[in-house]
Structure 1
Amino acid sequence: MLLDEPDNHLDHASRQLLIQVLTDYPDALLQVSHDPDFVAGVVIERAYQLAD
C-alpha cells in the first residue's frame, strides 16, 4: 500500500485509529509523512528518512 500524508487533517481519534490499522496491516506499506510522531507511532520493521 502506498500512502502520501495519510494523517493530514485528521482529528486525534481518527489519527490513533489510522495508526492502529497501519500497524496491523500485514503486507508491504510505503508511507510518506512530514510528521515524525505519526511515523514513530506506526510499528514498522524499517524506516528511511530523507534529508532536504
Structure 2
Amino acid sequence: MEAEQTTRVVLVEFPSYRQAKACYADPAYEEAKQYAMKASKRELLIVEGDLA
C-alpha cells in the first residue's frame, strides 16, 4: 500500500525461511541474478512467516 507503483508482483513460497535464504545464496542463482538485474527494475524480499 505504501510501495512505489508496480505492474507485477511475483510470490514464491518456500518450505522454510532457511531454504529461501539458501536459494538466494546459491551460486547458480547469483549467476542468473546478473541477467535479471539488467532486464528489469525489481525489489526482492524474503519474508519469514506463514501465508495461510
Higher relative contact order (CA 8 A, sep 6+): 1
Return the structure number with greater strand share. 1
TM-score (norm 1): 0.31
Structure with higher helix content: 2
TM-score normalised per structure 2? 0.31
Question: Which protein is bigger by CA-based radius of gyration?
Answer: 2
